[in-house]
Homo-oligomer: A and B are copies of this chain.
Amino acid sequence: MRRSGLSKTRERIYTFIRKFYREHDYAPTVRDILRGCRLSSTAVVQYHLNVLEKEGRIHRDPEVFRSIRLADKPGISSVPLLGTVAAGEPIPVPTAETWTSQALEIMEVPEEITEGKQLYALKVKGFSMIDALIDDGDTVLMEPANTAEDGDMVAVWLKNEQEVTLKRFYREGETVCLRPANKLMEPIYQYPENVEIQGKVSAVLRKL
């Protein structure tokens, strides 16, 4: 008998449960495991399930069919809400530590929006970004960035003006053109030395 090391059948059972969960999104029964692991007695399965539970690797409710749960979690992208952004304030740029340590809240967003990228969220205060069609109370999802491509919606820090605005970014010869998303309003032109890109706006979320 192997005192050190893991029981082979028990590991096969455990991995089978994982596999079964991936394929069905619900737990297998004792007899599902029996067939899946080519065992010949429900008692064997029962025995190993009891051990696995005692080891804390699974949970079960007595007498409830398909009640096996793994000490495991589904992966949804959670995004830290790092603070608020208002007119005249620089946007806080997150570091590895601030990422979750000083998060006010963890927001859960679909992967569709993040596309796997590491984003952070900011709550917009005031109407200073209304020309970017961003309202008071909206949430913006930011992607950390120092540079931008033409057409990107970026958060820029204007050194002389000492303020942050959200604009679409275009290079035009020697200057930089910053266009509001709202086409009714006029673009502004700046020298590259005066603009500092703080991040790309990846999405806007408005809850009414």
Contact = CB atoms under 8 A, between A and B. Distances in A.
Given A76-B76, A208-B202, A61 B24 contact: yes
Interface string A22-35: 00111101000000
Nearest to A135: B133
Nearest to A112: B108
B107 A110 contact: yes
Interface stretch (A5-13, A44-52, A179-187): A179-187
A109 interface: yes
Most B-side CB within 10 Å, residue of A24, A66, A208: A208
Interface stretch (A67-75, A82-90, A157-165): A67-75
A38 interface: no
A207 interface: yes
Contacts of A27: 26, 66
For this complex, into which size category does the number of interface residues on chain A fall? 35 or more
Interface in A152-204: 152-153, 181-184, 200-204
B109 A153 contact: no
A27 B66 CA distance: 9
A127 B25 contact: no
A113 interface: yes
A130 interface: yes
A29 B67 CA distance: 11
B65 A66 contact: yes
A208 to B, nearest CB: 5
A26 to B, nearest CB: 6
Interface of A: 24-27, 29, 61, 64-67, 69, 73-76, 107-113, 127, 130, 133-135, 152-153, 181-184, 200-208
